[in-house]
Amino acid sequence: MGNLDDQTAVQLLSKQKNLDQAHIFQGNTQKPFAFQAVTLALDTARDVSNPFKIGFPFRSLFVSAASDAVTTVSIQPDSIDSYQSSCPIVYKDCIDLNAPASGAYLTWLAQVGKTMTIVFFVEASFRSGSYLTSAAGGVSIIDGSSITGPTQTTLAAATATIIAPADSLRKKTTIQNKTGADLYIGGSTIAAPGTSNEGIKIPNDGIIIWANTAALYGYSAAGGNTSRNDEK
């Protein structure tokens, strides 16, 4: 292969072995950090005039925790200058850079009560496999890893009732109309059919797929039951 001979190969492998030993020695003596986790409280907004500074170099990052799937922070590596755009990151996102960044600047809109934890990798390249699984012929998307239910909710007659409560960890919920009549779904202001707040009609035994972390309300003129399975 090229001009490589046995002696050159031995020399190259020896250098690599010495380099590995040097890294091990450094880890035992100087104890440099390889991972650094930063938890952000997002109650107060941070814009480009007052960013949160990451003051150490890193090669990649991973959003290991967040209050919900829509909690968002934006990042600009190296500088906050306007010549480059920021990149929004959410729960389970990762960024793997070709070369180490000297640091980064984080900005976000006010998100009361929400937090995000980001793990920075100083030298390692990191890619999350939490939602993607290798499959023959392509990639399959996983909606969740657990299921709870069925859970029955009884609607009072002519009253907006929560049929899927807010859940920041929910990936999807499947709801079936078991009221014996038409069910109307929507937000908290849902009201009687024919009014300005009439919801979306789901016939008896109809099924709703709710891929949202917010609460879903139902309205039935006569009341009745719904049944749901939650996926997380």
pLDDT digits (tens, 9 = 90+) for 99-115: 889 999 999 999 999 99
Other CB atoms within a 10 A radius of the CB of residue 66 amount to: 24
Structural tokens at position 80: 């906050």
pLDDT tier at 132 (50, 70, 90 boundaries)?
very low
Domain 147-231 sits in CATH 3.40.47.10 = no
Domain with CATH 2.60.120.770 in the chain: 147-231
Per-residue confidence (pLDDT) for residue 135, from 0 to 100: 46
Strands of the 94-101 sheet, one edge to the other: 35-41, 115-121, 58-66, 94-101
What pTM was computed for the model? 0.49
| Residue 134 pLDDT greater than 50, yes or no | no
Structural tokens at position 39: 């938890």
Asked if residue 41 lies in contact with residue 115, where contact means CB atoms within 8 angstroms, the answer is yes
pLDDT in tens, 178-193: 999 999 999 999 999 9
Per-residue confidence (pLDDT) for residue 11, from 0 to 100: 73
How far, in Å, CA of 38 to CA of 60, rounded? 13
Q: Which of 132-136, 137-141, 192-196 has the lowest mean pLDDT?
A: 132-136
Per-residue confidence (pLDDT) for residue 178, from 0 to 100: 95
Domain 33-128 sits in CATH 2.60.120 = yes
Asked if residue 166 lies in contact with residue 227, where contact means CB atoms within 8 angstroms, the answer is no
pLDDT tier at 196 (50, 70, 90 boundaries)?
very high
